[in-house]
Structure 1
Amino acid sequence: MGRLLALDYGKKRTGIAITDELQLIASGLTTVRTFELIDFLKEYTEKENVQKFIVGEPRQMDNTPSESEALIGPFLNRLKKVFPHIPVERHDERFTSKMAFQTMIDSGLKKKKRRDKALVDEISATIILQAYLNKI
């Protein structure tokens, strides 16, 4: 079995989370600058067996796509072209940033560390991936 890799795609940064090979546990991997994301994924998939990409799907409260979906569409097309052998699934990412921030507070991180938007993105990707695992 391969790993599942989740992306919390953003205009500037993308948070990345990964499962273990048995797909039981979601863990934060890193945050990369979005313009470097495809290169990072190429390197990572050469070393690790990635079975599927899970990409966060930003939605409004009324379940319509958010404005950032316009940025994600072209990225998804490129992802599918570069990695045609790896399927892509979407998963609702509503409230993940708020949940990530609360997780940081609950874990006792200092205020300065909680301002680290890259860490928020990585935790958000982990929340997306864990929610996906809970669903399957």
Structure 2
Amino acid sequence: MARLMGLDVGSRTVGVAISDELGWTAQGVEIVPINEDEQDFNITRIKELVDQYGVVGVVLGLPKNMNNTSGPRVDASRAYGDLLVQQLGLPIDFQDERLTTVEAERMLVEEADTSRRKRKQVIDKLAAALILQNYLDRHGELTKVF
């Protein structure tokens, strides 16, 4: 039972998605609260989800600018990835996440007719699912476990 985890890392929340056991689809499962300012990254909850789902690798969204340059959020995502490697010992990889939050919001507004309040509750895990699905579709390095 090998699965990959996708993460959409923000400064206050981490959207979490999990692949199916065949590595074909990604489903958003949870939004984990964090506090970047206080260095509280809630790795304990991420580890619980890793154990619960049998995760063997983690894909983090890399929020590059539209011109392909890196900004401070890219550095924050890479630092979170380094922390995961230290704390969990799992392999990690990154997936370009440009426009995934925009796409997630569009899906929630146009296709699901979701209210603004409800969108805030699910957008990060939907963005994480899009990040992981894009990674699975391009057969990223970690998909070799399937």
Q: Shared fold by TM > 0.5?
A: yes
Identity of aligned residues (%): 30
| Structure-1 separation of matches of 2:78 and 2:133 | 23
In 2: Cα distance, 1:132 partner to 1:28 partner: 14
- Cα distance in 2, alignment partners of residues 129 and 14 from structure 1: 13
Q: Which residue of 2 aligns with 1:108?
A: 113
Partner of 1:68: helix, strand, or coil?
A: helix
Cα-to-partner distance string for 1:47-80 (whole Å, 9 max, x where unaligned): 3311210000010111111221232232222111
Q: How does 1:50-89 map to 2 (within 5 A)?
A: 50-84=55-89, 86-89=90-93
Change (3 A) 1:65 1:24: same
Mapped partners of 1:56, 1:135: distance in 2: 14
**Shift of residue 36, structure 1, vs aligned partner:** 4.9
Partner residue, 2:143: none
State the TM-score, normalizing by the size of structure 2.
Answer: 0.84
1:121 aligns with 2:124: yes
> TM-score w.r.t. structure 1 length?
0.90
* Stretches (4+) displaced over 3 A: none
Q: Is the 8 A contact 1:14 1:37 kept in 2?
A: no
User: Quick one: which amino acid aligns to residue 25 of structure 2?
Assistant: I
RMSD: 1.5
Secondary structure of residue in 2 paired with 1:4: strand
| 1:95 and 2:99 aligned | yes
Matched, 1:33 2:36: no
Question: Matched residue of 2:72: which SS?
Answer: coil
Aligned residues: 133
Q: Shift of residue 94 of structure 1?
A: 0.2
Measure the CA separation in 1 of the matches of 2:115 and 2:74. Answer: 32
Deviations 1:73-120 (A, max 9, x none): 322221111122x21000000001110000101122234323x1x411
Structure 1, unmatched stretches of 5+, are none
Closer/same/farther in 2, CA of residues 112 and 43 from structure 1, 3 Å limit:
closer
Deviation at 1:21, TM superposition (A): 1.2
The answer to whether the Cα contact below 8 Å between 2:61 and 2:77 also exists between their aligned partners in 1 is: no
